[in-house]
Structure 1
Amino acid sequence: MTNKTRTIAFYLPQFHPIPENDLWWGKGFTEWTNTAKAKPLYLGHSQPNIPSDLGFYDLRVADIRIAQAEMARSFGIEGFCYYHYWFAGKRLLERPLNEVLSSGEPDYPFCLCWANQTWTGIWHGEPNRVLIEQTYPSLDDHKNHFYELLKAFSDSRYITVDNKPLFIIYCPTDLPDCLGVTDYWRELALKSGLNGLFLVGVSHFQKWDPHQYGLDAVIDQRLPFKDKNIPNNYWSLKAQSMLGKKLPTIYDYKDIINQLVRIEMPGFESYPCVIPRWDNTPRSGSNGLVFEGVTLELFQKQLERALTRIENLPESRKFVFLKAWNEWAEGNYLEPDLKTGTLFLKKIKEILHPFSEN
């Protein structure tokens, strides 16, 4: 085991109201809205999930952002990867990052992931309702986007790889002429005094070589499909499903550990993405996906598989990504709740950073 692992947690900024969400979902809507009103959909379904130490926070409050960073650091997490939204010049949910940049607090490393997806009404069971479309109108838009990102790239806290800012594209295969765009961004980076960019794409089961898209590596995020699966050992739920009860897709955690984190490195650089738990029924109801049977022992196996995956990578690129720090309405979080407290965070420190002084 090594304490050199670079552990990065994805971070959702949707914990403050914005005018767009007020318009689409009602005044005051945040990620907590769906989280708090969640109900169990079947016997033994663990909902709602209630935060403990940090409470139902508002990311407009600087003390919350500082407390999150201090907590993450104390358990060996190197930094946050903030989801970043850019829709042809329009940003959404940008306030937390803007205040991190302008205030210099928290003094904690971070990077950005461009979540380049169209927003729909899927959170409220309206998947065909388009709220804001992800478009790529012109080279000028990519130029403007780069210079917006440069404010973060130039920050001393920004996470780098071999002195190059780390930037993640969530759906690179959706980006027209991704190779041309990434070449252009690297050119702009050099002209701006940076040493280049270290660009990473997220792979969702597809197997593609990052270099064909102008990327340096991929993050292997392997959520199972929503196919209305019910494990055979959950016989009572299977019977309910056969009788017509609408249930979410359910997977037994132990059955998908090997799928979530592959040990084998493909023929290119690929980083594991460890998923502690998952239940997005607060957003999607019976169209959601649930991991049942989650235990700390099984989570440990995922972490150990991730370590094996990266053991031969150079120290500067020994990345393990965690999905996620705070995606509460997807039941996908590491922040403490009333049921498990900091147990998942303690397991991360125990397995990934056993010699850490924090």
Structure 2
Amino acid sequence: MASNAIALSIAKSGIAQSRTHRESEKYVVAAYYFGNYHQDPRNDLAHGKGWTEWQLVKDAKPRFAGHKQPKVPLWGYGNESDPKVFEQKISAAARASISAFIFDWYWYNDGPFLQGALEDGYLHAINRADVEFAIMWANHDWFDLHPAKLTAPPHLQYPGEVTAATFDKLTTHIVKNYFSQDSYLKVDGCPYFSIYELYRFVLGMGGVEKAAAALQQFRDKVKAAGFRDLHFNAVTWGVQLLPGQTEVTDLKDLLARLNVDSTTSYVWIHHAQLKNFPASEYQDLASAYEVYRATASAKLGKPYYPNVSMGWDSSPRACQSDIYTQSSYPFMPVVQGNTPQRFGDALRSAKQFLDDSPDLKTKLLTVNSWNEWTEGSYLEPDKEHGYAYLEQIHAVFGSKA
């Protein structure tokens, strides 16, 4: 357990002074936030009343020699929908020079899912102005992978494709309830909004032209609310198939036709194959991602915000009584060697990339992740490393860095 400057400053500071937004800062460090650590009605039906993903964290076991599981959170198994719990997260993030949380945000055809962390936790935290927030619409299929069995195909609970009527409803909710907040992240004065699976959005809308029209209607809502425009970001990964096609679509053309403003990544493994099982090296993953990063803007035709991933270990989402053998997600290689020092090296590399990218007027970095505990990629302090990963962010991106 680490005893360090960040922990001490949090303990001594109380609630930090409020700030409106961080556009004056040279760098914007935005950590993805996965909100499945509070009770949700859908999870109550699927897993039993009161279930949260903390259960998988507690149940995790080492699956091979040298495998470090379970991970034990330094702060305990907190309820993220409690504003007091979220105030602790905000204080730690702010002291570590994290500018914003990008919430993995879910809304399906039958309505919202996992809103408690944001709407009950963050938005009711009295220090929320210290760390801004934004939305990444996580419009992927939701399967029952909590946990997943090796030999049984996962059950599709909520399809990711939504109708135009649903998109209209959810964007109205976003503009009214989120963009109106002083602490919402803006890029050049425009609220930042990201979509996780762009091709799935296009499929749901019924094609590129209809998707472009739906996005234009979204922009019109944003302008009517008093903003200059929307900053529309796309997470670029996966097979881009459109209706009636069997070949991969030209992603550069698709991004242009949808009037995307910028692109980024969610996690490194989307761009690199983990070659060794049961364990692959963090440095190999970092090197493979840097190859992708080097040409992303040119290939995509849009500004690319770099990503740094803290690690990868999806084994907690695998049924712990099943043999751990290489198969489909989550039976995947575990990334090892992701020490705080190597994470810091990756941050410095990303900072250099930002400095060397004149097309990026806003120097924004996405980080995976604040709390993907069951995918082995989290910044929250644990009992092994304490605040060490947060310290690395502060060392690289703090005001005195």
Shift of residue 228, structure 1, vs aligned partner: 7.6
2:297 corresponds to which of 244, 259, 266: 266
Shift of residue 257, structure 1, vs aligned partner: 1.2
1:215 corresponds to which of 232, 257, 260: 260
CA distance in 1, matches of 2:273, 2:391: 33
Q: Normalization by structure 2: what TM-score? A: 0.78
Deviations 1:76-100 (A, max 9, x none): 0001111111102500111232234
Deviations 1:273-320 (A, max 9, x none): 111111110013531331012223321221122112221346752111
Shift of residue 181, structure 1, vs aligned partner: 2.3
1:170 corresponds to which of 184, 187, 196: 196
CA distance in 1, matches of 2:337, 2:230: 40
Contact 1:7–1:319 (Cα < 8 Å) also in 2? yes
Q: 1:346 — aligned with what?
A: 391
Q: 1:309 — aligned with what?
A: 353
Change (3 A) 1:258 1:212: farther
Contact 2:272–2:285 (Cα < 8 Å) also in 1? no
Name the SS for the 2:390 alignment partner: helix
1:197 corresponds to which of 226, 230, 233: 230
The residue type equivalent to 1:111 in the other structure is: A
The unaligned stretches of length 5 or more in structure 1 are: 231-247
CA distance in 2, matches of 1:6, 1:251: 30
The residue type equivalent to 2:27 in the other structure is: T
Change (3 A) 1:273 1:179: same
Kindly report which structure 2 residues correspond to 1:1-358, keeping only aligned pairs within 5 A, or say none.
4-52=26-74, 54-99=75-120, 100-101=122-123, 106-107=128-129, 108-126=131-149, 127-138=153-164, 140-150=165-175, 151-176=177-202, 177=208, 178-204=211-237, 208-209=251-252, 210-220=255-265, 221-223=267-269, 229-230=275-276, 249-261=278-290, 262-267=293-298, 268-284=302-318, 286=324, 287-311=331-355, 312-313=357-358, 316-353=361-398, 355=400
CA RMSD, aligned part only?
2.3
Contact 1:273–1:323 (Cα < 8 Å) also in 2? yes
CA distance in 1, matches of 2:345, 2:133: 27
Deviations 1:187-244 (A, max 9, x none): 22112322210010111266833323321111134315897842xxxxxxxxxxxxxx
Change (3 A) 1:249 1:122: farther
Change (3 A) 1:316 1:31: farther
The unaligned stretches of length 5 or more in structure 2 are: 1-24, 203-207, 240-249, 325-330
Q: Identity over the aligned pairs, expressed in percent? A: 24
Shift of residue 184, structure 1, vs aligned partner: 1.8
